[in-house]
Amino acid sequence: MDYPPAQYYTGVAYMNGFGVEKNMQAALAYLEKSAENNNVMATNQMGVLYEFGNGVPQNGQKAFCYYQKAANDYYLAAYNLAQCYFKGTGTPLDYRLALQWFGKAATAEYLPALYNIGVFYDRGYGKTQDFQKAREYYQLAADKGYDLAQFNIASIYEAGQGVEQDFVKARKYFEMASEQGFIRADYSIGNMYIEDRGVTTDYAKAIQHYTKAAKGGHASAQFNLGLIYKTGIGTAPDLEKAKHWLKLAADQGDEEARQEQNNL
């Protein structure tokens, strides 16, 4: 007798090589059978495979159909269906339906869905701009540990966008994102220490955060470090470090870094 959950997990094992040799043909056979037996996790997974062309020819319409079949009963399928409507994958772009399905996924407290609803209201997709609602959804995801939401709500408080400007709250959320390795937050914290926004100017702390972001590949942080070491503002001049960081920024296409590099 068919047992859809077992078929699904066997398919996942073959797909990822968990305890067996990786075998996409076997994975597809088990996942398709499980999906035929209405297992929503397998149905969603088939959608993912078709969306990204993993083991099957890439086909947005098939992906959309699989997500649609499982979306009412499985939050990940609802989220993926929302992304299809948002990007126009396998279906015409439709912001209204995208927001509807992000909302469905959010009922399961799926943090990327809460974040994306915040993005909708923040950027006004489908004429829905509402900064207060954006902040509310970012807040829900941020307080549950979602780094992108932490960064965005920090940026809202920093800019005073639809809320009273509050550098203390901005730094709090930037630091929460930084603790999770979100390097754009470190760059922003570095700027706050340089520009005396809500904190006393502290070049040592700015350098600490810029360095963390720069090591993660953030070109603007690399450029700022290069300037700091070139000019010796807040630290001893170090031309070798200046050359190192300016070169890395220039290699990423930063024209100002290239010009400063030429002036060393």
For 89-114, the pLDDT digits (tens) are 999 999 999 999 999 999 999 999 99
Longest dimension (CA), the chain: 75
Class of domain 1-101 (CATH, top level): mainly alpha
Across 233-253, average pLDDT: 95
pLDDT of residue 22: 96
pLDDT of residue 128: 80
Whole-prediction pTM = 0.88
Residue 1 pLDDT greater than 80, yes or no: no
Burial class (CB in 10 A: 0-12, 13-18, 19+), 199: middle
Separation CA 208–CA 214 (nearest Å): 10
pLDDT by residue (tens digit) across 128-149? 889 999 999 999 999 999 999 9
DSSP 105-169: HHTTT-HHHHHHHHHHHHHTTTS---HHHHHHHHHHHHHTT-HHHHHHHHHHHHHTSSS---HHH
pLDDT by residue (tens digit) across 149-186? 999 999 999 999 889 999 999 999 999 999 999 999 99
Tokens in use for 79? 């989220």
pLDDT of residue 110: 98
Contact in structure between 152 and 118 (CB atoms under 8 Å)? yes
How sure is the predictor about 31, in pLDDT bands with cuts at 50, 70 and 90? very high
Each domain of the chain, given as residue ranges in start order, spans: 1-101
